[in-house]
Amino acid sequence: MNEFFRNFIENLGPWFYSHGIKIILIIIGAYLVRKFAGVFIDKIIRKAIVSNNFLSGEAEKKREDTLIKVFEGALRVIIWLAAVLMIVSEFGINIGPLLAGVGVIGLAVGFGSQYVLRDFFTGLFIILENQYRVGDMICVGKVCGMVESINLRVTVLRDTDGIIYYVPNGEIKIVSNKTK
């Protein structure tokens, strides 16, 4: 047992110099890329969003902030996933079979979560296109009410009787906005 620890400690220094420093640089690089990309996304979205005369300055800012959060979240996942894969390969693990396995699992999850993804992308377009916002009176199918909240997955409506409806964004085909 003593020999195991002695060998471990003797090999730790050379391993750290060849791989440990790379791992630290990967982590620092991923952090910096994420920070700079976040600033870049912020500037691009704030310039790309076309001003809408119907929106107040506060409503426009909320819309921009929502889009920034969505894109930054997706970018964060991609950057850190790439960093983790590079770190795993530094430990000598072949990531080819790992990526193939993740691909198969991703395919299965994709089929299983197609409704959630449909809700997500529909919600993204509702926010991007500014079809309606909190406080608007809208009709979706046979349900009419005031929009209480909108997120990427669901729109919450309250009708005149006070009944709350949770409408998955993917189910929204036609919407009429009585406020605009």
> 75 and 6, same structural domain?
yes
Question: Confidence class of residue 72 from pLDDT cuts 50, 70 and 90?
Answer: confident
Mean pLDDT over 71-93 rounds to: 89
Domain assignment of residue 169, yes or no: yes
Q: What was the pLDDT predicted at 160?
A: 92
User: Over the stretch 7-50, which tens digit does the pLDDT of each residue have?
Assistant: 777 777 777 778 888 899 999 999 999 999 988 888 888 887 76
Domain assignment of residue 167, yes or no: yes
> 143 and 108, same structural domain?
no
Backbone angles phi, psi at 140, to 5 degrees: -125, 110
Determine contact, residues 147/164, Cβ cutoff 8 Å: no
> 93 and 9, same structural domain?
yes
Q: How many CB atoms lie within 10 A of CB 176?
A: 11
- Domain-ending residue, one of 112, 128, 157: 112
> 79 and 7, same structural domain?
yes
User: Over the stretch 134-163, which tens digit does the pLDDT of each residue have?
Assistant: 889 999 989 999 999 888 889 999 999 999
Domain assignment of residue 20, yes or no: yes
Q: What was the pLDDT predicted at 4?
A: 74
Domain assignment of residue 132, yes or no: no
Question: Confidence class of residue 51 from pLDDT cuts 50, 70 and 90?
Answer: low
> 163 and 103, same structural domain?
no
Range of the structural domain that residue 42 is part of: 2-112
User: Over the stretch 86-118, which tens digit does the pLDDT of each residue have?
Assistant: 999 888 888 888 888 888 888 888 887 888 889
Question: Which long-range CB contacts under 8 A does 7-15 form with residues at least 24 apart?
Answer: none
Domain assignment of residue 124, yes or no: no
Q: Does pTM top 0.85 for this prediction?
A: no
Domain assignment of residue 120, yes or no: no
Domain assignment of residue 118, yes or no: no
Count of alpha carbons within 13 angstroms of residue 117, beta-carbon side = 8
Q: What was the pLDDT predicted at 158?
A: 95
> 83 and 10, same structural domain?
yes
> 76 and 42, same structural domain?
yes
Count of structural domains within the chain: 2
Q: What was the pLDDT predicted at 124?
A: 86
> 173 and 88, same structural domain?
no
Q: What is the CATH number of the domain that holds 156?
A: 2.30.30.60
Determine contact, residues 156/149, Cβ cutoff 8 Å: yes
